[in-house]
Structure 1
Amino acid sequence: MRAIIQRVTRASVTVNGGEPRAIGPGLVILLGVRDTDDIAIVPKLAEKCAHLRIFEDENGKLNRSAVELGYSALVVSNFTLYG
């Protein structure tokens, strides 16, 4: 599994003209999965992404996580990460 993580103030995605999915502040995660990936690592990867300290605290330092701030995550399948 490979993931590219980006912090955002807002984001949305529409698939095949369907209903858009959107979040406010949080994380956009582009996730590449291979058929050889072990499903057992999914919870560990999710936990790691959610607890990355990549948001600013009151002093302007990158010291807060999405979980601490109550932010959302938008996960988008992206097979080209293995390309």
Structure 2
Amino acid sequence: MRAVIQRVTQASCTVDGKITGKIENGLLVLIGIEEEDGQQDIEWLSQKLVNLRIFSDEQGLMNKSIQDIDGNILFISQFTLFAQTKKGNRPSFIRAAKPGKAEPMYLEMAKHLSLLLNKEVQLGIFGADMKIDLLNDGPVTIMMNTKDKDNY
């Protein structure tokens, strides 16, 4: 799994003119799933997300987690995180999991995050043409890859 995590003061997802998910103060998480991903990836990345200390404390230092600030998550599936651009100018997405595998994993991870946070995680719509609106706070943007845990 690959994730792009952005600390936001607000974020929303709109599909066909209708808001499907909206948050204030929290994380916008873009998630890419590949065929080899499994339950261990969901559990590891979910724990990292809810414990990641990237919110400011009283001294302005990044010492608080999303749990500490009672923040929210907007969770968006994004297969393009597995784009391969080595050959030619048109990206290849062959490493991204097929929808039959990716969608259940996306929904399972959203459920897992909701349990860890003890609140509902806001979602996009899997496979839809989504419009994401956000106000990045900081800006703080972090990338993670469950296949490269030593560096994350």
TM-score (ref. length: structure 1): 0.91
Supply the distance in 1 between the matched residues of 2:20 and 2:6 (Cα, whole angstroms): 19
**Structure of larger gyration radius:** 2
Counterpart secondary structure, 2:75: strand
Counterpart CA distance in 2 for 1:60 and 1:12 is: 26
| TM-superposed deviation, 1:33 | 0.3
TM-score normalised according to structure 2 size: 0.52
Gaps of 5+ in 1: none
Which whole-Å CA distance do the structure 1 matches of 2:47 and 2:37 have between them? 17
Q: Residue 61 of structure 1 aligns with which residue?
A: 61
Q: Distance in 2 between matches of 1:66 and 1:75?
A: 14
Local SS of the residue matching 2:34: coil
Distance in 2 (alpha carbons) for counterparts of 1:49 and 1:43: 10
Unaligned ranges ≥5, structure 2: 84-152
Q: Which residue of 2 aligns with 1:37?
A: 37
The size of the alignment, in residue pairs, is 83
Three-state SS of the structure 2 residue aligned to 1:20 is strand
Q: Where do residues 1-80 of structure 1 align in structure 2 (5 Å cutoff)?
A: 1-80=1-80
